[in-house]
Amino acid sequence: MRHVRRCTRTGCSQSAVATLTYIYSDSMAVVGPLAAFAEPHSYDLCEEHAVRLTVPRGWEVVRHVGEFPSPIPHADDLEALADAVREAARVEVPRQAGGSEDNGLTGRRGHLRVVPPPV
């Protein structure tokens, strides 16, 4: 499952919406929409940091025109999350030896316990 990428600026916990890359040979910084994959020499930025980015004197900034679209979860991510929740909720109730039939209404998993309804 893919995780939401965060802004790489120190102390910022916002979701990334833009990618910053440098072209050192041209003294240029490029701020564009969030790249599909995190690359080693690029930086993910939230909208605030993408808009307020400054560069050293003599450098040029090329910015994406318009709003940065928020990353949306893909259907595969949602399906994987639903499958993980179903798997975590699945409880196997051990059958007790000695012939007593439990009929699956009671069980214990970690610190939680299922109690049968009063009769």
Q: What is the pLDDT of residue 1?
A: 42
Q: What is the mean pLDDT of residues 11-23?
A: 91
Name the band, by pLDDT with cuts 50, 70 and 90, for residue 61. very high
pLDDT at 63: 87
Whole-prediction pTM: 0.55
What pLDDT score does 8 carry? 92
Residues 46-66 have a mean pLDDT of 89
Name residue 66's amino acid: G
Confidence (pLDDT) at 49: 92
- Tell me which residue of 16, 21, 18, 43 sits closest to 33, measured CA to CA: 18
Contacts of 19 (CB under 8 A, 6+ apart): 31, 32, 33, 34, 35, 39, 42, 43, 44, 45
Quote the pLDDT of residue 37: 82
Enumerate residues 6+ apart whose C-beta is below 8 A from 78. Answer: none
Answer yes or no: are the C-beta atoms of 9 and 49 closer than 8 Å: yes
Q: Which one, of 2, 14, 4, lies nearest residue 51 by Cα? A: 14
In this prediction, residue 54 has a pLDDT band, given cuts at 50, 70 and 90, of very high
